[in-house]
Structure 1
């Protein structure tokens, strides 16, 4: 069981009791507007069941951590990472927050915790993050955490029938330590 703490948040392993919140986030068209087309209930259930399985960094699967307000225990969203390249010790980060918790600095706080823990626990050399070029909030989160915009990937994601460009962000752990 993973538990990480920050000033206002607790991040913890996904549990079977998190199904309702997982479903809510994954069915919300606005939250997923820059990520993916909303999947069917069956697809979401299968994804949830897979994420409940024991996680290993080397697998390349996404680690999904539940974000909760420390003071109230209220659900905020999800964050985590996956091993994008084991040899190069590169991980890709991600986060999805409920609509009512966006714009409060929670994504930045959670991402900082995930980066600090991941770098220490898995000797990650660098983190990358992708976000749709229209998702200015997500870009700001990564920049606040020390990521630098390293490029633009043209037509890198397809949501429904529409292609979209992504910004590629990168963070060297050595630069984070120096900050």
Structure 2
């Protein structure tokens, strides 16, 4: 079980649960085709973003296997919502988790996603007691692959035409890190 003590502060970010006040910020990047390109949903309308936000609000802790922790990443100095962080509890028995992230393109290239991801990994390893955290991305998404490498994750797989993704065969990269490697 994981009930983080919010807000979680990093050098430049506050990581916290979502609230309905995040609708404009979340819509600001969930509505963009360049953000949704490699995600399992298309660019969202305001109404679709609001529905997704309502779900995220109820995902501020992990109570059992298959729960997902959704955390808003905001800039400490301005309060702007810049990122969407996920920690999926994939297996209690095998102590497996999966990390996910989406950041507003206006804030790419500043190391914010890495800063937030390191803290999500800390939660998974230190507070949830995970043995292994993995991340997946579309093989064309070089920015996400590079981020996972910067986090110390190793590429474990390149799945070729493993699923139909947005109407065509897709390829997926799988990265992972073990608790002992993370330390």
- TM-score, structure 1 length as denominator? 0.89
Q: Give the SS at the match of 1:100.
A: helix
How far, CA to CA, are the matches of 1:82 and 1:138 in structure 2? 17
Please, which runs of 5 or more residues in structure 1 have no aligned partner?
none
CA deviation after TM superposition for structure 1 residue 2, in Å: 2.6
**Residues 104 and 158 of structure 1, relative CA distance in 2, 3 Å threshold:** farther
How far, CA to CA, are the matches of 1:111 and 1:93 in structure 2? 8
Within a 5 Å distance, the mapping from 1:81-96 to structure 2 comes to 81-96=87-102
Within a 5 Å distance, the mapping from 1:43-122 to structure 2 comes to 43-57=48-62, 58-122=64-128
2:18 matched residue in structure 1: 14
Q: Does 1:24 align with 2:28?
A: yes
User: What value does the CA root-mean-square deviation take over the aligned residues?
Assistant: 1.8
- TM-score, structure 2 length as denominator? 0.88
CA deviation after TM superposition for structure 1 residue 51, in Å: 1.6
How far, CA to CA, are the matches of 1:160 and 1:122 in structure 2? 33
2:161 matched residue in structure 1: 155
2:172 matched residue in structure 1: 166
How far, CA to CA, are the matches of 2:25 and 2:65 in structure 1? 25
How far, CA to CA, are the matches of 2:108 and 2:69 in structure 1? 21
How far, CA to CA, are the matches of 2:10 and 2:124 in structure 1? 14
Please, which runs of 5 or more residues in structure 2 have no aligned partner?
none
| Equivalent pair of 1:35/1:159 in contact (CA under 8 Å) | no
CA deviation after TM superposition for structure 1 residue 67, in Å: 0.8
| Equivalent pair of 1:55/1:61 in contact (CA under 8 Å) | no
**Residues 135 and 142 of structure 1, relative CA distance in 2, 3 Å threshold:** same
Farther off after superposition, 18-27 or 124-133: 18-27
